[in-house]
Structure 1
Amino acid sequence: MKQLIVSCEAASLQAALLEDRKLVEHEAQHPSETQRAGSIYIGRVVNVLPGMQAAFVDIGLDKNAFLYIDDVLPVNMQKQPKTKPPIGDLLQPGQRVLVQVVKEPEGSKGARVTTHYSIPGRWLVYMPGAGYTAVSRKIEAEEEKVRLKQVADNLRCGEEGLILRTVSEGRSEEELRRDLLDLRELWTVIEQRAEAGAAPACIYQDLELLPRLARDVITEDVLEIWVDDEAVHAELQGLLRQRSPELAARVRLDGGDTPLFERFGIAEELSRSQRRKMWLPSGGYLVIDPTEALTVIDVNTGRFTGTSSLEQTVFRTNMEAAAEIPRLLRLRNLRGIIIVDFIDMEQSAHRDRVLECMAEAVKKDRSKTILLGWTKLGLLEITRKRK
């Protein structure tokens, strides 16, 4: 069972998603913070770096954004040159360029930007100029994939690109058409702002937390939605009523004395989940070390000594870790390259079971997560899309 808990306290808004009463996702919106990822800017090229095939772009933030040549070349593969030209042939200092943030500024690094624009809707992702259609890999029924692709191919015009999101499964052609029309209209507005605006300037921002929850998180399998603020309750109901009165009816206003995050154990779990050392049910534990380049997760037996054999002790610990790690990837929003050092297993069948457990668990992740498999050193390689 999925539950969404939305709490408003001291002008900050927080949302927590629970699956079978376990916390799996957490988002917060503070008045002093602005989400940059997904936003589109009119930028100005500051300098071009031939040796790196990249450029720095002023988009109006404290640090200049970084633009790779791969993000400048046409997104449509058929229009890309056979060999990459020098970055200086494409960009010049002082040039205006429309870019979208794909990675937030972090530490000493500025944002990473692209000219491959994508705008998410309720059922679709709209990509002007991409020239192809694609269907979410999480939709498993082959017949439904074929149907959705045919619908998208019929709907898209010219060089438009469309991705059918996982939630588009079972949606009618008319629902998809309405979503596409809204996205086309939005892109037209963005183009008009880009033409009239001065650089640097932000001309489009992705939705704030509540509309984003209504668009991306609240689906038919979210059975309970609890809110502790009357204004937030009314706004969320209004957002959902536009497309699904049934979902709007699930939004409940909490009038209890105990704060929602305490009543559902969210506050305690948030604190526990950020620790470097995370205990597993049997007594084993994980050590999570994020670095600038990648995140390393080490699995240990800890206090667990088992009952029958070393292989069974190791296997049980690894299976518990395989179930817990995907949840922590979502909850802590760990992204990029992730390396998991499971305890060595002698039996290949046990390694296969651990990998299957991980693969099943990452299906629930809204961010694209890929299990690349075991390295020669017995490490599991994972990539998780930055968002």
Structure 2
Amino acid sequence: MKGSVIALDTYKGRMAAAQIVDGKLTDLLVEPPEGVVLPGAIFRAICDRPLKGQGGMMLRLPGGRSAFLRQGKGLKPGERVLVQVTGFGDDGKAVPVTQKVLFKSRYAIVTPGAPGINVSRSIRDEEARVRLLEVAHEVMQGGEEGLIIRSVAANADLDEVAEDIAAMLDLSRAVLADADGDAELLVEGPDPHELAWREWPEADQLDADTGAFERHNVHEMVASTRGALVRLTGGATMFVEPTRALVAVDVNTGADTSAAAGLKANIAAARALPAALKTRGLGGQVVIDFAPCPKKDRRQVEQVLRAALKADGIETAMVGWTQLGLFELQRKRERLPLSRCLEGQ
């Protein structure tokens, strides 16, 4: 099936959203188990104890949870601080947080403490930039907060953009004014349906009715994603397997024995890898064992991989080749691994 589909439904009793392009699952969001703090959540936290030698501070969150603030210089135990969750904590570890709180929606990001109105550089049409800036200045009315107009706003209705900016501005001011009291959750992190609306581009079809996953064969796609095997074009394969230390990726040429088999398999793997990691919720250290190919072809594989990761949107650093011929990535942990989301399912 050609075209793009966004399906909003439940999977195994958990809220879920699936992005499908040309019949392939390219992104998947699944509600984590109860008690897991979602990235984007904003807390009023209480400073607990500094971590000497690391420059960080342990914070107390409501419900007996703890958080780790990497830059805690100048803070004292007992002090209240406003923080935002940046990712999922590993099992038994504190939730990572930052003091750089953002109020993010589909069209706009309000940035308290970072003044200035900016339009995404992805919007190159000067007329569109001028129209969006006019809307932004009208809504912000010289406020002290900063604002970023997101790229998706380029083709959006200007009234909707204005409403989005106003909603985020009101929310930011309400949260920043609520400074007193014990540790408290002030803004919940986005659930899968909200995150899909906020982050995914508009699809050819949006199916939000009950049974959407059945109609678009999402259950079968997710079942395949829960395994390690990824089938590539030309009969090649890729295995994506998480360990405690890293994510191991192995690329194989399959039955193709031609001289260009390795390069073709590696290019196909480079294009498919971001979606394979994203749908499985995997990040951290990623080590790729590409199929054997001449060293002169490595640059081409890198270029394809760089382009695929840029379009992917999750912050990923291409570390490079090791002496053993492996390729290393360092990828931000923005997702909870699918295996943890579906524990016991």
Scaled by the length of structure 1, what TM-score is found?
0.73
Matched, 1:2 2:4: yes
Question: In structure 2, do the counterparts of structure 1 residues 4 and 200 end up closer, same or farther at CA, with 3 Å as the change threshold?
Answer: same
Please state how far the C-alpha of 1:21 moved relative to its aligned partner.
1.1
Matched, 1:357 2:304: yes
Matched, 1:269 2:253: no
Matched, 1:224 2:205: yes
Contact preservation (8 Å) 1:144, 1:170: no
Question: In structure 2, do the counterparts of structure 1 residues 372 and 208 end up closer, same or farther at CA, with 3 Å as the change threshold?
Answer: closer
Question: In structure 2, do the counterparts of structure 1 residues 144 and 326 end up closer, same or farther at CA, with 3 Å as the change threshold?
Answer: farther
Contact preservation (8 Å) 1:135, 1:148: no
Question: Partner of 1:201 in structure 2?
Answer: 184
Letter in 1 for 2:249: I
Question: Partner of 2:341 in structure 1?
Answer: none
Question: Partner of 2:20 in structure 1?
Answer: 18
Equivalent-residue separation in structure 2 for 1:228 and 1:170 (angstroms): 26
Question: Partner of 1:232 in structure 2?
Answer: none
Flag structure 1 segments of 5+ consecutive residues without an equivalent. Answer: 73-86, 230-258
Question: Partner of 1:44 in structure 2?
Answer: 46
Equivalent-residue separation in structure 2 for 1:134 and 1:340 (angstroms): 37
Letter in 2 for 1:59: L
Flag structure 2 segments of 5+ consecutive residues without an equivalent. Answer: 335-345
Contact preservation (8 Å) 1:125, 1:165: yes
Please state how far the C-alpha of 1:19 moved relative to its aligned partner.
0.6
Matched, 1:372 2:318: yes
**139-148 or 159-168, which moves further after superposition?**
139-148
Please state how far the C-alpha of 1:261 moved relative to its aligned partner.
3.1
Letter in 2 for 1:304: A
Task: Kindly provide the CA deviation profile for residues 150-209 of structure 1, in whole angstroms up to 9, marking residues without a partner as x.
Answer: 6698566465333332312245766544322221100111123333xx222111113433
Contact preservation (8 Å) 1:55, 1:68: yes
Please state how far the C-alpha of 1:215 moved relative to its aligned partner.
3.2
Please state how far the C-alpha of 1:23 moved relative to its aligned partner.
0.6
Letter in 2 for 1:374: G
**154-163 or 322-331, which moves further after superposition?**
154-163
Question: In structure 2, do the counterparts of structure 1 residues 341 and 61 end up closer, same or farther at CA, with 3 Å as the change threshold?
Answer: farther
Task: Kindly provide the CA deviation profile for residues 262-305 of structure 1, in whole angstroms up to 9, marking residues without a partner as x.
Answer: 4433222212222234343444332323345543323233x334
Letter in 2 for 1:182: A
Larger RCO, structures 1/2 (Cα 8 Å, 6+ apart): 2
Match of 1:105 among 89, 95, 106: 89
Matched, 1:160 2:148: no
Aligned-residue sequence identity (percent) comes to 25
**338-347 or 53-62, which moves further after superposition?**
338-347
Question: In structure 2, do the counterparts of structure 1 residues 322 and 141 end up closer, same or farther at CA, with 3 Å as the change threshold?
Answer: same
Question: In structure 2, do the counterparts of structure 1 residues 370 and 52 end up closer, same or farther at CA, with 3 Å as the change threshold?
Answer: closer
- In the TM superposition, 1:167-178 aligns within 5 A as 167-171=152-156, 175-178=160-163
Equivalent-residue separation in structure 2 for 1:153 and 1:12 (angstroms): 37
Please state how far the C-alpha of 1:328 moved relative to its aligned partner.
0.7
Contact preservation (8 Å) 1:11, 1:30: no
SS of equivalent residue, structure 2 residue 204: strand
Question: Partner of 1:117 in structure 2?
Answer: 101
Contact preservation (8 Å) 2:83, 2:97: yes
Question: In structure 2, do the counterparts of structure 1 residues 209 and 280 end up closer, same or farther at CA, with 3 Å as the change threshold?
Answer: closer
Scaled by the length of structure 2, what TM-score is found?
0.81
Question: In structure 2, do the counterparts of structure 1 residues 294 and 128 end up closer, same or farther at CA, with 3 Å as the change threshold?
Answer: farther
SS of equivalent residue, structure 1 residue 315: helix
Equivalent-residue separation in structure 2 for 1:140 and 1:227 (angstroms): 29
SS of equivalent residue, structure 1 residue 51: coil
SS of equivalent residue, structure 1 residue 13: strand
Q: Which has the larger radius of gyration?
A: 1
